[in-house]
A and B are shown apart, each in its own frame.
Chain A
Amino acid sequence: MDTYRFSSRPRRNRRPAAATAAFLFLLIPGAAHAYIDPGSGSLIWQILIAGALTVAYCVKRFWHRIAGLFRQSRRSPDQDE
């Protein structure tokens, strides 16, 4: 039963995935200025990953700041000594 349900899951998701893809292709960015073929897939792909990369870099910077605070507070008593 479980196996059946597990294998049927991707099938159920396929339609929304296809719809998302179709929607994204309607959002082909205007590249009227490009004299080389930028590749429609490459244009959409970079939009998708650039957003994700921006989030990742923000998290990374935030994490470094937090870690930096801890490092500072740990270093301060040493410096006092």
Chain B
Amino acid sequence: MSERPGMGGSLDPGSFRDPSGFVFRRHETIYRQVNASYAEEYEHLVSSGLYEELAQAGLLIPHEEVDTPPPRPDSAYRVIRPEMIPFVSYPYEWCFGQLRDAALAHLEVQRRALAHGMTLKDCSAYNIQFRDGKPVLIDTLSFERYREGEPWVAYRQFCQHFLAPLALMSHTDVRLGRLLRVHVDGIPLDLASRLLPLRTRCSIPLLLHIHLHASYAKRASRSHRGGKRAARLSRRSLENLVRSLRTGIGRLRWRPRDSYWAGYYSELHDYRTETAEHKAGLVAEFLDHVRPSRVWDFGANTGRYGRIAADRGIPTVSFDFDPACVETIYEAVRNEGATNVLPLVMDLANPSPGIGWAGAERSSLRDRGPTDMLLALALLHHLAISNNVPIPAIIDFFSELCRFLVVEFVPKNDAQVRELLAGRRDVFADYTQAAFESSLGRTFRIERVERLRGSDRILYLAEKR
């Protein structure tokens, strides 16, 4: 947040491109200033009934008009207070299903907007957030009145932010969704076209909106000498363009298969049900004791332990580095209509940094914390041994992110650790329970120490000093 002294608030560093208004924070509440230049569009959004319809359908974030003084009174028309999103996430942290649902939600918004004489003037994936497990448009100022004959200015942005990454995830490799972290304005279509397999040219939507679109745009940029207005796109054609995009996205599929991690609990390895049951009981006990306001679950896997928190009505974010695990959790959340779980793809050895303009447009994971309680179950050995991160460094990282920590120590004699050490030199002399407890005790006050039944694993509940 960039502080502006004397205004009693801070401007959101990710809300500066659109001249229609901007987001600011004051006393831990999010507001949006609507600029005078956007007044007519804003009034049309409300008076046409579009706002009401979208808000009721859960497609647009509801807001209230408030009397809060605007940070820039000279340009202000109104100040609105949108409903708060518990945790802001970004497209490069979403699994395939989340990005697909976000894309379909965006197209549904555009379809309904056209029916009310409006259109989306941008289609950034960053304008979507997950609320109660469902995608919702958070940028109330994304609409403008539709002018008959005008093409859709957000068409290219939609293709770059949604269609290209989804096609790559579906047809090339699901890990290519992470390309969105490198390309903040979506994946360039020429790049997507090169990376997609030849067979995608047989899909009419992908052929039209990615392959031919990319080559045409490339040729256009070479030969364009400044244009004059004349060409028109009828409303019906525009609706059909949206329909074709919806068909293209609707056909894209990705199913989690062959994932070592997604089968972690089902295969069980040396991880007995008795141990897992005991751990789940202890997690529930710790949650009831601490009553955290929000929980992060690191290394969530199937999301089982995060769900214990979510079922108690605590907003929970479940992080895992495996897109298959996140997809599985998301599918379960969607099918059951669970509202308090947000699963996200996150490599904890390389968590989301601040990116975009000035490295601050999209916040780092750390800047989105701290959380009240952090679950780090069956995770420590992966960070310490697979990634060679010293235990004190792991504890320091956790201490920056939470107040309460529930952490599991997996000793070297555990089958999981033996597997990690097989075929490599054991350079982890400090990987002992005593050394771990001493590190933990330096930054945290250890409240509970419990040996898990049927194993030598230890579960700790600790509070930051």
Residues of A within 8 A of B (CB): 21-22, 24-31, 33-36, 38-51, 53-54, 57
Contacts and interface: CB of A to CB of B under 8 A. Distances in A.
A58 to B, nearest CB: 9
Given A27-B231, A28-B229, A35-B121, A21 B237 contact: no
Nearest to A31: B153
B220 A53 contact: no
Contacts of B27: none
B117 interface: no
B144 A25 contact: no
Q: For A28, A30, A45, which residue has the most chain B Cβ atoms within 10 angstroms? A: A45
Contacts of B233: 29, 46-47, 50
Contacts of B230: 26-27, 29
B241 interface: yes
Interface string B153-165: 1111101000000
A21 B151 CA distance: 18
Contacts of B218: 41
A80 B240 CA distance: 40
Given A22-B223, A42-B217, A49-B208, A29 B157 contact: no
B424 interface: no
Interface string B131-151: 000000000000010010111
Contact of B150 (A26, A31, A42, A48): A31
A31 B225 CA distance: 16
B118 to A, nearest CB: 12
Interface of B: 17-20, 121-122, 144, 147, 149-157, 159, 208-209, 212-213, 216-221, 223-234, 236-238, 240-241, 243-244
A4 B153 CA distance: 44
Given A33-B153, A35-B19, A27 B228 contact: yes
Given A31-B153, A45-B212, A46-B151, A54 B240 contact: yes
Given A36-B122, A38-B154, A38-B155, A50 B240 contact: yes
Contacts of A33: 121, 144, 147, 150, 153
Given A50-B238, A50-B241, A51-B237, A30 B225 contact: no
A54 B220 contact: no
A34 B120 CA distance: 10
B151 A31 contact: yes
Given A45-B216, A53-B237, A36 B154 contact: yes
A37 to B, nearest CB: 8
Contacts of B220: 25, 39-41, 44-45
A43 B150 CA distance: 9
Contacts of A35: 17-20, 121-122
A46 B17 contact: no
A63 to B, nearest CB: 16
A42 B70 CA distance: 37
B217 A50 contact: no
Q: For A22, A35, A40, A49, which residue has the most chain B Cβ atoms within 10 angstroms? A: A49
B186 to A, nearest CB: 11
B241 A21 contact: no
Contact of A25 (B147, B227, B234, B243): B227
